[in-house]
Amino acid sequence: MPSHEELDGILRPLIGQPLDTRFSGPLTGDREEALASYHLINSFLAVGTFLLRYTLGGQVDSSLLALIDQTPDLSTLATIIHGFPEYAAAVANVTNVTCFAPSNEALARFADAHQDTYQQLFSRLEVFSAIFDIHIVVGAHYSPEFRPGETWFLHTVLTDESVSNVTGGQVVKVRSIYDTLEVSTDAKSPAHVIQKDRCFAGGTLQVIDAVMGIPSSLSSVIADNAFMAASFGQALTAANLSTTLDLQSNLTVLVPSNKAFEQANLSRGDMGQELLAYVLQSHIIPGEVLYSNMLAVGTWTTLSGAKIRIDQDASGIYVNGARIQVEDLLVANGVVHVIDSFAV
């Protein structure tokens, strides 16, 4: 049986550029050709997956729940799961997933920071299931798949529209930084894999050092000044668009920064509501959740009907000449990118 390092060397050229929902480079070619490549790559991955399952640890004949029960560093999580028998049965039977499971220490830190929510994890299934579901992604993924410098966006099993309105399930962002896997739903507080590639019959278990949160509403994320976009949020309120946009699904929002508003003299609120709404809607692509690695070069139609062009080069990604400064802020109904000037 080949070693872990040998498997890594074998699988990397087979995996190639992950495409479709796992694509980690700019999608500039023909989409049908890309999808064909994606399915071919998956065929190769099936061989690698077979080898990895018998090499990287865990019990391949056990369930996810059994593996959690057998992992000492997940005893707190196991206790919570067993407190909800029907949910525990579902966890025991889940297949074709990767579980990013928060460790005992991660849950202890979560308890210190969010005492009320932590207590509800033990007593309210709707609270626990929403938080735990964001930690379970579709598909069995192994650490050699995540190459340094690549960013992947993996759909989770969180599909409850009361907290997530992204077709296919809310996503988590995965990056490989040197020998560490970083997973996150929030740009401010990523989690890191501390025990990797534990296998069970239905996929893989990755133990992480933090609890990931559920992405907040569009208006809440934009209002956070840490991302230099609060002026856009104020403009949405002035244009009476905040609530409407929060309720929509599958949005890509290109948010001019606070500095862009100042330079355009739009922070004074001296634009009529109708024109303001048009300008703001011209920065929103409806029906598409385009993470930075899916922003294909070409022309896109915005919510206002205006068209914008996306280009990219070695210096970055541009929207009608406006450069993306902050990428991939996950929100309940899509993704936000902050740009350095107005695109229209």
Q: Tell me the C-alpha distance between 105 and 293, whole Å.
A: 33
In 3D, which of 188, 187, 192 has the Cα closest to residue 177? 192
Q: Where are the beta strands (DSSP E) in 185-306?
A: 191-200, 203-208, 251-256, 284-286, 298-301
Largest separation between any pair of C-alpha atoms in the chain:
70
In 3D, which of 269, 284, 295, 277 has the Cα closest to residue 331? 284
Please give the C-alpha separations between residue 226 and each of 221, 229, 241, in angstroms, as whole numbers. 9, 8, 22
How confident is the model at residue 29, as a pLDDT?
Answer: 46
How confident is the model at residue 229, as a pLDDT?
Answer: 85
Q: Tell me the C-alpha distance between 298 and 283, whole Å.
A: 15
Query: Which 8-state DSSP code applies to residue 224?
Result: -
Please give the C-alpha separations between residue 260 and each of 10, 241, 245, 254, 263, in angstroms, as whole numbers. 48, 20, 21, 12, 5
Q: Which domains does the chain have, with CATH numbers?
A: 42-208 (2.30.180.10), 218-339 (2.30.180.10)
Strands 251-256 and 334-339, bridge-based pairing = parallel
pLDDT tens by residue, 192-225? 999 999 999 999 999 999 999 999 999 999 988 7
Contacting residues for 181 by C-beta, under 8 A, at least 6 apart: 143, 146, 174, 175, 192, 193, 196, 206
How confident is the model at residue 11, as a pLDDT?
Answer: 38
This prediction has a pTM of 0.82
How confident is the model at residue 36, as a pLDDT?
Answer: 45
The residue type found at 164 is: S
Query: Which 8-state DSSP code applies to residue 272?
Result: -
Least confidently predicted of 146-155, 270-279, 300-309 = 270-279
pLDDT tens by residue, 114-164? 999 999 999 999 999 999 999 999 999 999 999 988 899 999 999 999 999
Cα Rg, the chain, nearest whole Å: 21
Least confidently predicted of 242-251, 263-272, 314-323 = 263-272
In 3D, which of 110, 105, 101, 81 has the Cα closest to residue 93? 81
Least confidently predicted of 41-45, 74-78, 139-143, 253-257 = 41-45
In 3D, which of 167, 139, 144, 142 has the Cα closest to residue 154? 139
Task: Tell me the average pLDDT across 87-93.
Answer: 97
